[in-house]
């Protein structure tokens, strides 16, 4: 699938209330193109509650149920169960996609219990977390997804903890499909949404969603910052199926040696939320910590990749 082959139909409509450069609306646009009209959407309290436009308007071209903050997994379960019932009774000819759309606050923090419950039960829906790494809708407070050293409105000298990784927590739930995505790689995201739609059970896709006002970068740079996150190794693109993780797009190219890791300082410098790491022309210690951590991750990934190649080679020859 190439970008020009995406369906032309727009289900994310004009006139939304999104901020300029909003990653959530860009992600929805691609997700809708991948899933099409036959989709029931559950929106969990997040920026998307607002950007869809207030009553009586809506920028969303599919049926939408807006729901409370902590309910993503459970509402998806209820919608999926009712859909299954109607399909069984012949009242629905084709099973619609059930899409739950939540932010990182609704996924990492208040909604993780409901998500974990649904994942353990294997309820049949796609859960997308668009992760803007803070409570952007309420004025950019820290969340469990906020990265180390980032300014938020309640971590004004930089967050002191590293973020947790819900995508890996979902892998640990043994889901049939877990993937990460980036706005800079829309075909990768599109293909992952399509694949998720073809699999039964709980599917989890997490999109890094650089937020111009929250992360403090110009609103025309959402895609640029998204790309830097992958190129610097801050954000890994992968999909996990049948117990195996495959890295994709820009991340795969770095692991396989077709592209170099870009120094993380370029990613950090592009955003005002890390400005305090570069006071008086000096780099804060925390920049080095970032780079060391990323290097360690990629050393391991490259090693595992080479090891797998060798083993496959041996298997073929043996």
Partner 1 sequence: MVDIANHIAAHAVKLARVAVVSAYPITPQTQVIEEISALIEAGEMDCEYIPVESEHSAMAALIGAAAVGVRAFSATSAHGLAYMHELLHWAAGIRLPMVMVNVNRAMGPGWNIWCDHQDAISQRDTGWIQLYCAGHQEIADTVIQAFRISEDPRVILPVMVNYDAFVLSHSYMQADLPGQEEVDRFLPPFRSAWRLDLDNPLTHGSVIYPNDYEEVRLSMQQAHERAREVIAEAAEEYRRIIGRFHGALVEAYRMEDAEYALVAMGSLAAEARVAVDALREEGLAAGLVRVRSYRPFPGEELAGLLDVLKGVLVIDRDISFGMEGALYSDTKAALYGKSQVPVFNAITGLGGRDVPYTVMMEEMRRVAEGKRREAVSWPTIRFNDHHRASREGMSRCG
| Residues 205/181, Cβ–Cβ less than 8 Å | yes
The whole-angstrom separation of Cα 223 and Cα 306 is: 31
Query: Which stretch, 70-78, 192-200, 265-273, 304-312, contacts partner 1 (CB under 8 A)?
Result: 70-78
| Residues 240/214, Cβ–Cβ less than 8 Å | no
Q: What is the DSSP letter of 256?
A: T
Smallest separation, CB 304 to partner 1 (Å): 34
The whole-angstrom separation of Cα 231 and Cα 11 is: 30
- The yes or no reply on residue 10 touching partner 1 (CB under 8 A) is no
- What's the token pair of residue 292? 């060391």
- Interface map 91-130 toward partner 1 (x if CB under 8 A): -----x----------------xx-xx--xx-x-------
Helix or strand or coil: residue 5?
helix
- The yes or no reply on residue 61 touching partner 1 (CB under 8 A) is yes
Nearer to partner 1, 39 or 222 (CB): 39
The whole-angstrom separation of Cα 46 and Cα 81 is: 24
Nearer to partner 1, 9 or 292 (CB): 9
- Interface map 223-262 toward partner 1 (x if CB under 8 A): ----------------------------------------
Q: Which residues contact 13 (CB under 8 A, 6 or more apart)?
A: 58, 59, 60, 61
Nearer to partner 1, 17 or 259 (CB): 17
- The yes or no reply on residue 132 touching partner 1 (CB under 8 A) is no
Query: Which stretch, 18-26, 42-50, 258-266, 274-282, contacts partner 1 (CB under 8 A)?
Result: 42-50
- What's the token pair of residue 89? 């009774």
- The yes or no reply on residue 46 touching partner 1 (CB under 8 A) is no
Nearer to partner 1, 15 or 56 (CB): 56
User: How far out from the chain centre does Cα 77 lie?
Assistant: 20
Smallest separation, CB 100 to partner 1 (Å): 9
Number of residues that bind partner 1 (CB under 8 A): 45
Which segments of the chain does DSSP mark as H helices, in order? Answer: 23-35, 47-51, 72-88, 104, 112-121, 166-172, 186-197, 222-231, 249-255, 264-269, 285-317
- The yes or no reply on residue 172 touching partner 1 (CB under 8 A) is no
- The yes or no reply on residue 53 touching partner 1 (CB under 8 A) is yes
Smallest separation, CB 128 to partner 1 (Å): 16
Q: Which residues contact 197 (CB under 8 A, 6 or more apart)?
A: 34, 35, 97, 126
Residues engaged in binding partner 1 (CB under 8 A): 37-38, 40, 42, 49-50, 52-56, 58, 60-68, 70-71, 73-86, 96, 113-114, 116-117, 120-121, 123
């Amino acid at each position: 699938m190439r970008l020009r082959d995406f369906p032309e139909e727009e289900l994310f409509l004009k006139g939304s209330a999104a901020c300029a450069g909003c990653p959530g609306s860009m992600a929805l646009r691609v997700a809708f193109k991948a899933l099409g009209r036959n989709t029931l959407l559950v929106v969990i309290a997040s920026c998307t509650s607002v950007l869809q436009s207030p009553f009586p308007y809506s920028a969303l071209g599919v049926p939408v149920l807006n729901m409370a903050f902590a309910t993503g997994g459970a509402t998806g379960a209820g919608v999926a169960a009712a859909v299954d019932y109607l399909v069984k009774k012949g009242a629905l000819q084709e099973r619609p996609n059930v899409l739950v759309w939540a932010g990182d606050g609704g996924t990492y923090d208040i909604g993780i219990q409901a998500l974990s419950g649904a994942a353990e039960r294997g309820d049949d829906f796609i859960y997308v977390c668009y992760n803007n790494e803070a409570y952007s809708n309420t004025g950019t407070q820290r969340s469990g997804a906020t990265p180390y050293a980032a300014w938020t409105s309640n971590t004004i000298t930089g967050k002191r903890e590293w973020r947790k990784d819900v995508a890996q927590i979902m892998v640990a739930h043994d889901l049939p499909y877990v993937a990460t995505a980036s706005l800079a790689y829309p075909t990768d995201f599109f293909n992952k949404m399509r694949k998720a739609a073809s699999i039964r059970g709980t599917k989890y896709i997490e999109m890094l969603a650089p937020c111009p006002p929250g992360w403090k970068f110009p609103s025309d740079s959402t895609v640029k910052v998204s790309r830097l996150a992958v190129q610097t190794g801050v954000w890994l693109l992968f999909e996990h199926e049948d117990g195996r993780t495959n890295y994709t797009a820009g991340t795969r190219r770095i692991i396989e040696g077709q592209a170099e890791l870009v120094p993380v300082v370029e990613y950090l410098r592009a955003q005002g939320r890390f400005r305090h790491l570069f006071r008086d022309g000096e780099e804060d210690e925390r920049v080095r910590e970032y780079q060391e951590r990323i290097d360690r991750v990629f050393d391991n990934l490259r090693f595992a990749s080479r090891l797998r190649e060798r083993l496959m080679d041996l298997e073929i020859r043996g």
